[in-house]
Amino acid sequence: MKTLRIGILGDYCEANPTHLATNDGLQHAAAALEIKAEASWLATDEAHDLAAFDALFCSPGSPYRSMEGALTGIRFARENKVPLIGTCGGFQHIILEYARSVMHVEDAAHAETDPYASRLVIAPLTCSLVGKTMEVLFTPGTLAAQAYGSATAEENFYCNFGLNPEYEPQLEEAGLSITARDQFGEARVVELPSHPFYAGTLFVPQTRSTAGKPHPLLVAYLRAAANI
């Protein structure tokens, strides 16, 4: 049976239900594909051999102990074509890394850690989404739409921050596509079409995964990592 090594960028906390769901969701998806997933949590304030993993996962639970540690892992996955998914805080930091490294907004900031910065690429949401379930609408033909096999889905949110709409045109011009929005038109999924699998979701798909019904996005992620 094929075994995948998954590196989870994040500071594990067993009291965080989204962290427990991350572990479980990966196992649900692996079982559906009849493969094994060996997941290792990679603390953001420690150095890691990122090349030892078949795929990386940027977890919920920001602020991380080291923002730079999380961004380093994200950049490694982007530059080396390593399958990556980021959820909630992972979504936010995928955008932040892209803004700094690709869009050349070197001082791109996150309002959670630097609320008075001049370039808040990640800004407070108009309304908090903590504990909310909302409909997400996918752009046809995108990675997310293909994974779900549907135009819409209900997903769980746990966040207070998201993409600042002012940076949307610049982000998409630089190649990071917004591929799903909520009913108010706000960005909820980003993808890098030139990459084998590179996606960020502001929602936390793993919290809706069960053994009997693995989350389709996690299945697609592991399928890409396993090249099957």
Residues 178-211: tens digit of each pLDDT: 999 999 999 999 999 999 999 999 999 999 999 9
Backbone angles phi, psi at 54, to 5 degrees: -80, -25
pLDDT, tens only, 81-125: 999 999 999 999 999 999 999 999 999 999 999 999 999 999 999
pLDDT at 1 over 90: no
Q: In total, how many domains does the chain have?
A: 1
Residue 172 belongs to domain with CATH number: 3.40.50.880
Residue-level pLDDT at 131: 86
Q: Name the band, by pLDDT with cuts 50, 70 and 90, for residue 173.
A: very high
One-letter amino acid for residue 35 of the chain: I
Backbone angles phi, psi at 218, to 5 degrees: -70, -35
pLDDT at 212 over 90: yes
What pTM was computed for the model?
Answer: 0.96
Residue-level pLDDT at 128: 85
Of 28, 29, 37, 35, the C-alpha closest to 55 is 37
Residue-level pLDDT at 110: 97
Report the DSSP pairing between strands 161-163 and 84-87: unpaired
pLDDT, tens only, 7-52: 999 999 999 999 999 999 999 999 999 999 999 999 999 999 999 9
Residue-level pLDDT at 228: 77
Q: Which domain holds residue 180?
A: 3-226
Which one-letter DSSP state was computed for residue 215?
Answer: -
One-letter amino acid for residue 133 of the chain: T
The whole-angstrom separation of Cα 55 and Cα 84 is: 6
8 A C-beta contact, residue 195 and residue 56 = no
